[in-house]
Amino acid sequence: MITADAIKIKKTTKSRIPEVDFNDLGFGKVISDHMFVSDYKDGEWNNAHIEPFGDIAFSPSMLALHYGQIVFEGMKAFRTKDGNVSIFRIEKHYERFIKSMERMCMPVMSYRLFEEGLTNLMKVDQAWVPGSEGSALYIRPFAFASEERFGVKISSEYKYIIFSGPVGPYYDKPLRVKIEDHYRRAARGGTGSAKCAGNYGASFYPTHLAKMQGFDQVLWTDGSPELNIEESGTMNVMFVIDGVLVTPPLSDSILDGVTRDSFLTLAHELGIHTQQRTVSALELEAALEKGTLNEAFGTGTAAVAGAIQSIDIKGKDYTVPVPENGVMVKLKNLLTDIRTGKAPDKYSWNTIINCK
Ligand code: COI
């Protein structure tokens, strides 16, 4: 059993914070001073500690590099209006993390290890949580097979690491997307609902081709003749059709997005009617022709929400409205207010780290 007392903490003697331009963070470029590490060996997660962020040594035969047992989470912490740090929806991220681990045949860890690793790391690196509008501390918990051998097998050793980095807004303009009718992100029965590294690697080539054609990302479909929409790039996708917020239902090929879930909850609070149901390319095309597609956007931890300005369906480009105070903006603003303590945390989503 892991306790906060059991987590050994070795702090850096020289913080890198003075070198960081907090006005030019971008996404994924800057990494905070420390990382949390735990190792799985002999059937147990042990050796939980925090150390200065840095390189780790591994054998080129390490199993994760060959057979891809690697899962991760993307989480965020925010600076609250009273100067504390708030970590968003630890439990929901933990549930998804262990589901991903189970799907990739990896040994799950206790909630306590996940939660105490995060909260202790956030206490140590609290100065890295930015406070400017649209910024946050992105937290990356991940686990991988660390056994050193190349025989094809389920690894019997793993490493779990959490590091973080301050980030600014993910997208600076609404997205141009195309419905991808050849490549698939995920198949039924596959790993689409797991946050495993391979899903991202496999999406790069079709996304690269779409970018060469002038698009920002692709709308993934289920591969059926109807081209039912699944996700948008690395995000879940939502449409506002005739005033109703519609998003594809969760399945084993769609990631159970934490922002997706939060938006559905908040939409209910704002009196916006929601539907979790299949949306085909055909339905989208008809709505675009009739002018009943009011909005389209992606949701994800990194971007929070990314508006879609155009959708290409089989070579025809349709413009999508991007209203200044539409459903997406209302939901994004309310979510930001909850995370930063400006609106009440009715759903107990925030874990507060007192920074006084
Ligand atoms: C996220 O939205 O947090 C993601 O995981 C997508 C990407 C940054 C990998």
323 pLDDT exceeds 90?
yes
- CA-CA-CA-CA dihedral for 115, 118, 124, 128, to nearest 10: -140
**Span from the CA of 74 to the centroid of ligand 1 (angstroms):** 6
User: Does 83 share its domain with 50?
Assistant: yes
User: Which pLDDT does position 5 carry in this prediction?
Assistant: 56
Task: Find the mean pLDDT for residues 30-57.
Answer: 97
Task: Find the mean pLDDT for residues 304-332.
Answer: 97
User: Does 70 share its domain with 194?
Assistant: no
Task: Find the mean pLDDT for residues 193-213.
Answer: 98
User: What CATH number does residue 233 fall under?
Assistant: 3.20.10.10
Tokens representing residue 244 in the block: 């109703």
**Span from the CA of 257 to the centroid of ligand 1 (angstroms):** 10
Position 356 confidence tier, pLDDT thresholds 50, 70, 90: confident
Atom of ligand 1 lying closest to residue 27 CA: 8
User: Does 196 share its domain with 164?
Assistant: no
- 281 within a domain of the structure (yes/no): yes
143 pLDDT exceeds 70?
yes
User: Does 141 share its domain with 227?
Assistant: no
User: Does 127 share its domain with 258?
Assistant: no
Last residue of one domain, picked from the residues 134, 169, 204: 169
User: Does 164 share its domain with 226?
Assistant: no
Q: Which residues of 259-281 are buried (b: 16+ CB within 10 A; e: fewer)?
A: bbbbbbebbeeeebebeeebbbb
User: Which pLDDT does position 301 carry in this prediction?
Assistant: 98
User: Does 83 share its domain with 180?
Assistant: no
Report the pocket of ligand 1 as residue ranges, CB < 6 Å: 74, 200, 234, 300-302
Probe target for ligand 1 pocket from 195, 234, 260, with the most ligand atoms within 8 Å of CB: 234
- 266 within a domain of the structure (yes/no): yes
- 356 within a domain of the structure (yes/no): no
**DSSP classification of residue 196:** B
Question: Three-state DSSP class for 335?
Answer: helix
User: Does 128 share its domain with 192?
Assistant: no
**Span from the CA of 233 to the centroid of ligand 1 (angstroms):** 10
Overall residue count recorded for the chain in this entry: 356
Position 18 confidence tier, pLDDT thresholds 50, 70, 90: very high
- 49 within a domain of the structure (yes/no): yes
Question: What total number of domains does the chain contain?
Answer: 2
User: Does 127 share its domain with 210?
Assistant: no
User: Does 190 share its domain with 322?
Assistant: yes
Of 283, 356, 292, which Cα lies nearest the Cα of 321? Answer: 292
- 355 within a domain of the structure (yes/no): no
Of 188, 193, 34, 7, which Cα lies nearest the Cα of 113? Answer: 7
Report yes or no: 295 and 326 within 8 Å, Cβ to Cβ. yes
Q: How far apart are the C-alpha atoms of 341 and 356, rounded to whole Å?
A: 16
- Tell me the average pLDDT of the chain: 96
Last residue of one domain, picked from the residues 169, 193, 228: 169
> Beta partners for 276?
247
1 pLDDT exceeds 50?
no
User: What CATH number does residue 130 fall under?
Assistant: 3.30.470.10
User: Does 55 share its domain with 185?
Assistant: no
User: Does 162 share its domain with 197?
Assistant: no
- 70 within a domain of the structure (yes/no): yes
Residues of the chain with pLDDT > 90: what percent? 97
Residue span of the structural domain in which 30 resides = 4-169
- 350 within a domain of the structure (yes/no): no
**Span from the CA of 312 to the centroid of ligand 1 (angstroms):** 23
- 346 within a domain of the structure (yes/no): no
Position 6 confidence tier, pLDDT thresholds 50, 70, 90: confident
Residue 349 half-sphere exposure, CB side, CA atoms within 13 Å? 26
